Amino acid sequence: MLSRRCIWVNGPVIVGAGPSGLAVGAGLKNQGVPFIILERADCIASLWQKRTYDRLKLHLPKQYCQLPYFPFPDDFPEYPTKHQFIKYLESYAKHFDINPNFNETVQSAKYDETFGLWRVKTISTGGPIPVEVEYICRWLAVATGENAEKVVPEFEGLEDFGGHVTHACDYKSGKSYFGERVLVVGCGNSGMEVSLDLCNHNANPSMVVRSSVHVLPREVFGTSTFEFAVSLMKWLPLWLVDKILIILAYLILGNIEKYGLKRPCLGPLELKNTAGKTPVLDIGALQKIKSGKIKIVPGIKKFSRGKVELVNGQTLDIDSVILATGYRSNVPSWLKENELFSNEGVPKNPFPNGWKSKGGLYAVGFTRRGLSGASLDAISVALDIAKTWKDETKQKKKSVAARHRRCISHF
Ligand SMILES: Cc1cc2nc3c(=O)[nH]c(=O)nc-3n(C[C@H](O)[C@H](O)[C@H](O)COP(=O)(O)OP(=O)(O)OC[C@H]3O[C@@H](n4cnc5c(N)ncnc54)[C@H](O)[C@@H]3O)c2cc1C
Ligand SMILES: NC(=O)c1ccc[n+]([C@@H]2O[C@H](COP(=O)([O-])OP(=O)(O)OC[C@H]3O[C@@H](n4cnc5c(N)ncnc54)[C@H](OP(=O)(O)O)[C@@H]3O)[C@@H](O)[C@H]2O)c1
């Protein structure tokens, strides 16, 4: 049972009501441009509300995480908690009177060359029966995020393991793992923090590090490492800033290689720019690794009942597995175009040139620069759409007036 509707939108359609979609919406509101936001979840910022663990805090100082035109409240700490961030986003949406269409998953979006319009098809599941809706619009802003879907690698024998297996996006707290031997797969920021949280709840994590990782202190010289790196980059080339960061990390954290955390050949900033791999900002996991409370183990060969065999031949008895194996964009699954986005679902042109394409298509929040990159994209996108929207609206009004004058003169 599926009913169908078609809706003309006098303005852009924004896909995704995360921080990026909300920030574009705010910019458009400021310019008086009408728009629609389509969101698959039943709330704004669903990544933050539904797919993050309890102990999560923003890992960059607050001035780099606030969205345009509306600062964080003064009483927020330097690193707001996820609950504070969600509260901020809710007041952001309220302040700009942004009301997304919830429970609407975009299934496809295709540009109609003949009419110069986008046809965006969704399934809306908010009502008693699913409704297929087609939105027709002149502009399309893609704000579905770099972390839209969890990455779940295939492992031999995992189906025979028998214990609890979950992805980090469904992990909330270590409370339910009390006393368990837990294999945490992956050593990005999620893997490190989940391992730390498990330790704090008296579980016994072993963390899989199959390749290499940059671990940096969250702060150096009393300022955030991120802020320090940004200020150095104004004067020094990237490779030199990378060298300085690695030396400082060595001085502050010591030689982490002896604990099994091999550093990549490329520096942390270069690696982030070229491969999108975020360095880990340490907030306590390293101490637990040094004390042996978090064990570092190499890659996985295969699972069997209650066990994992590692590539070095060692076998561990484990109760549960947490896959902190990352996320990916879902854009290629629904957007039918190949100019702006790559097969991986991120813009082909690197920052700051990846936000705009032909035919009124825009990308917001795919810069690998977190919330600060999303804000910069959102400002550019909203201004650009507003300019063409205003020009075209003026043009339309003029031609309606001319038609009207012609009609009158015929009488
Ligand atoms: C655990 C974790 C912690 C993070 N911490 C930080 C941090 O401290 N600082 C930082 O700068 N960044 C952080 N990030 C990165 C973070 O993803 C972004 O900063 C931010 O959420 C990006 O916002 P966004 O709106 O681009 O994407 P998202 O927040 O992912 O929002 C995209 C929205 O699009 C919706 N959507 C997706 N597909 C469809 C579809 N087909 N139809 C309709 N709607 C759809 C989703 O439901 C979602 O609500 C973190 C990421 C994770 C996973
Ligand atoms: N605010 C915060 O504090 C916070 C917290 C969590 C996450 N985040 C952000 O969220 C984003 C995602 O982070 P994330 O840590 O979830 O993902 P991630 O950075 O992509 O890390 C994924 C990890 O999984 C490993 N992995 C993938 N497949 C594997 C396999 N088959 N076997 C073993 N290991 C495997 C990867 O190893 P390889 O490197 O070898 O591929 C990597 O260590 C990042 O931008 C991050 O900064 C922020």
Ligand at minimal distance from the CA of 171 is 1
Over the Cα atoms of the chain, what is R_g?
24
pLDDT at 3: 78
Rounded distance from Cα 206 to ligand 2 centre (Å): 15
Distance 47 CA to ligand 1 centre (A): 5
Q: How far is the CA of 192 from the centre of ligand 2 (A)?
A: 9
CA distance 357 to 183: 43
Do 287 and 301 belong to one domain? yes
Q: pLDDT tier at 397 (50, 70, 90 boundaries)?
A: confident
Residues 116 and 180 in one domain: no
What's the rounded Cα separation, in Å, for the pair 252 and 359?
50
**Which of 4-8, 107-111, 235-239 is predicted least confidently?**
4-8
What residue's CA is closest to ligand 1, atom 5? 58
pTM of the model: 0.96
CB proximity list for 181: less than 8 A, separation 6 or greater: 203, 204, 206, 316, 317, 318, 319, 320
CA 244, CA 222: separation in Å to the nearest integer?
16
Lowest mean pLDDT among 5-9, 128-132, 397-401: 397-401
**Tens digits of per-residue pLDDT, 153-181?**
999 999 999 999 999 999 999 999 999 99
Task: Determine the pLDDT at residue 404.
Answer: 74
Which has the closest alpha carbon to 167: 141, 139, 147?
Answer: 147
Selected residue with higher pLDDT from 411 and 12: 12
pLDDT in tens, 283-320: 999 999 999 999 999 999 999 999 999 999 999 999 99
Read off φ and ψ for residue 190, nearest 5 degrees: -65, -50
* Residue 301 sits in the same domain as residue 176: yes
CB neighbour class for 51 (10 Å; exposed up to 12, middle 13-18, buried from 19): middle
Are the C-beta atoms of 296 and 69 separated by less than 8 Å? no
Ligand nearest to the CA of 167: 2
Q: Of the bound ligands, which one is closest to the alpha carbon of residue 125? A: 1
Give, in order, the Cα–Cα distances in Å from 261 to each of 10, 32, 184, 209. 53, 51, 15, 7
Q: Locate tokens 């963390």: which residue?
A: 207
Kindly state the average pLDDT of the residues 213-217.
98
CA gap 170, 314 in Å, rounded:
28
Residue 255: C-alpha distances to residues 33, 206, 210, 400 (Å)? 54, 20, 18, 72
* 353-385: pLDDT as tens digits: 999 999 999 999 999 999 999 999 999 999 999
Q: What confidence tier does 408 reach under pLDDT thresholds 50, 70, 90?
A: low
Would strands 295-297 and 204-208 be described as parallel, antiparallel, or unpaired? parallel
What is the per-residue pLDDT for 403?
80
- Predicted confidence (pLDDT) at residue 252 exceeds the cutoff of 90: yes
Q: What range does the domain containing 40 cover?
A: 3-148+329-403
What is the spatial distance between Cα 147 and Cα 50, in angstroms, rounded to a whole number? 13
Distance of CA 149 from the midpoint of ligand 2 (Å): 13
Q: Which residue of 51, 147, 227 sits with most ligand 1 atoms within 8 Å of its CB, as the best mutation to test the pocket?
A: 147
- Phi then psi dihedrals of residue 133, to 5 deg: -120, 140
Which residue's CA is the closest to the ligand 1 atom numbered 1? 52
The CATH number given to whatever domain includes residue 396 is 3.50.50.60
In a domain, 411, yes or no: no
Rounded (5°) CA angle 350-324-152? 80
If one residue of 84, 206, 325, 366 were mutated to test the ligand 2 pocket, choosing by the most ligand atoms within 8 A of its CB, it would be 325
Task: Name the one residue in this structure whose structure tokens are 């797919």.
Answer: 51
Write the residue with the smallest CA distance to atom 33 of ligand 1.
16
Q: Is residue 410 part of a domain?
A: no
Does 141 lie in the same domain as 165?
no
* Half-sphere exposure of residue 258: CA atoms within 13 angstroms, side-chain side: 6
- DSSP of 56-120, one letter per residue? -B-SS-GGGTPPTTSPPPTTS-SS-BHHHHHHHHHHHHHHTT---BTTEEEEEEEEETTTTEEEE
Q: How many domains does the chain have?
A: 3
Whether a cis peptide bond, with omega within 30° of 0, leads into 77 is no
pLDDT tens column, 25-44: 999 999 999 999 999 999 99
Does pLDDT of 1 surpass 70?
Answer: no
The answer to whether residue 277 scores a pLDDT higher than 80 is yes
Query: Nearest C-alpha to atom 12 of ligand 1 is from which residue?
Result: 370
Q: Which of 17-26, 95-104, 126-135, 388-397 has the lowest mean pLDDT?
A: 388-397
Report the pocket of ligand 1 as residue ranges, CB < 6 Å. Answer: 15-21, 38-41, 45-47, 52, 56, 58-60, 65, 105-106, 143-145, 147-148, 190, 327, 330, 334, 365, 370-371, 374
- Asked if residue 259 has pLDDT above 70, the reply is yes
Whether residue 319 is found in the same domain as residue 341: no
Closest to 354 in 3D by CA, of 340, 342, 368:
340
Q: Is residue 392 part of a domain?
A: yes
Residue 337 lies in a domain: yes
Residues 254 and 289 in one domain: no
Residue nearest to atom 8 of ligand 2 (CA): 189
Distance 13 CA to ligand 2 centre (A): 31
